[in-house]
Chain A
Amino acid sequence: MRSGVMRVPQEKDADYLALAARHRPPTPVWRNAVRAFVVGGGVCVVGQLVTDFFEVHGQTATRAASPTAVVMVGLGALFTGLGLYDRLVQAGGMGGALPISGFANAMVAPAMEYRREGLVLGVGAKLFTVAGPVLAYGLGSAFLVGVVRLVVGS
């Protein structure tokens, strides 16, 4: 039989997409979750050790948060530079990306990458490719929350 009977999918074809979905290997949801837990938990333990260090050296728990963020960002930047942080995320998924060291990774990676396109429009502009949205929506939502609190509080 000449195999010319199969209609070729064109336009959005639900039947075809259902057929194709059967050939897609399933996302290993459980495996990814376990890895995210271990890696993310591990990063936070490092953060806790740093916080404890600052508390032992005279900071209150609240005031230790800021220097802890700085150190975690520094570690994220260093491991990105050494070419290791992307492997941590490849293994741990959001366990590597969600901590603030992942935020550093999102800034350092484009900074390294775009040096050849110049320091201003390369490094300077691309620095905020992923981090920019995080800052914009973080600050934006915090502003709204602040407005509501101010109105409710008064």
Chain B
Amino acid sequence: MSRSTRQFEQVAVVGHFAAGGAREGQGPLAAAFDQVWDDDLVGETTWEAAEAKMAVDALEGAAHDGGWSLGEADVVVGGDLLDQLVSTNFAARQHHRPTLGVFAACATFAEAVGLAGLWCDRGSTRAVAGAWSHHLAVERQFRFPIEFGYQRTPTASWTATAAGALALTQGTGAVQLRAFTVGRVVDPGSADPMDMGTAMAPAAWDSLQRHLAAVKARWDDYDRVFTGDLGVVGSGILCDLANDPGFVRVHDDCGRSLYRPDQDVHNGGSGTGCVAAVVAGHIMPRVETGEWHRVLVAATGALFSPTSYQQGESIPAVAHVIELEAYRP
């Protein structure tokens, strides 16, 4: 077995919580959300504080869904897109549980869940893992002020206002976390920050192939293989790279699932919260009921900063993979 993939026998995903903002709440996954924040500020005074509030809500919601409270969690693992992970760390200031803040851009959620899995695999532990992003907080950091007019290109993604978290524990439950593959950073040389799909598709393909080889599976073994936020453009590229009808049949994309085509989001959703909300709200319930038996999630992240792209650097990307399976005693 590859040493970059860890397989788990005894890690159960016992709780999940997904939430989205107003725009996400009008999308195709509206029914999947446990909560919809219609207010941009979520009752706070800044968008950054709103994102921290979303983090606390998601963590508490997942723990509660698992039958315990966030206060009983031994470890929290989470991340966001803001400088210095402020929303994750400010949420930790509030919930006060031991916290690991992690960053892999929009692949953060899979990294967080994977690390929580490693933690639970080695002892009787409760962990909550999640990721969150707020459109307005992220947009002002990475692009332009909100009211500054500029035309979005057809390849641009829409940073989601969304949050998702999973509660994990040692043992068995309806859903098991089966494996975690750590991604390699891949950079095909694209420098357009308005086109994440092109930058991230190779990383997704790299990690998916490595995962498949490590767990000795075939695409047919999965009900679905989700990529993170490749969107319409990146999904097309990935299926082209794969050149395998077996893969194309099971492939789906989180960024493409979050909005309807008429919601003016162009390429689809992105942001740390996008994969988190789709996994927690859309995928988890289906694995719980056994509608899907085995699902792969390759969350993809574009690892650039406003500084790096102004300096003309191309955009490196990473994809971390988690595998979920319905438990059959």
Contacts and interface: CB of A to CB of B under 8 A. Distances in A.
Interface of A: 1-4, 6, 8-13, 16-17, 19-28, 32, 80-81, 83, 85-90, 93, 96-97, 102, 105-106, 108-110, 112-114, 116, 126, 129-130
Contacts of A85: 147, 149
Contact of A10 (B146, B149, B187, B240): B187
Contacts of B147: 80-81, 83, 85-86, 105, 108-109, 112-113
Contacts of B122: none
A89 B186 contact: no
Contact of A17 (B189, B213, B233, B241): B189
Interface string B132-166: 00000000100011111111111100000000000
B187 A11 contact: yes
Taking residues whose C-beta sits less than 8 angstroms from the other chain, chain B's interface range is: 35 or more
A90 B198 contact: no
A130 B213 contact: no
Contacts, number: 128
B202 A86 contact: no
Contacts of A11: 187, 189
B201 interface: yes
B188 interface: yes
Given A19-B240, A24-B233, A112-B145, A12 B189 contact: yes
Contacts of B209: 3-4, 6, 8
Nearest to B219: A3
B31 interface: no
The 10 closest A-B CB pairs, nearest first, are A89-B149, A12-B189, A109-B148, A9-B188, A109-B147, A23-B236, A113-B145, A86-B149, A25-B154, A20-B198
A113 B140 CA distance: 8
Given A24-B195, A90-B150, A109-B148, 13 more contacts: A2-B212, A3-B246, A6-B205, A10-B202, A12-B189, A19-B241, A26-B154, A80-B147, A86-B149, A108-B147, A109-B147, A113-B146, A116-B46
B151 A90 contact: yes
Contact of A24 (B151, B154, B206, B247): B154
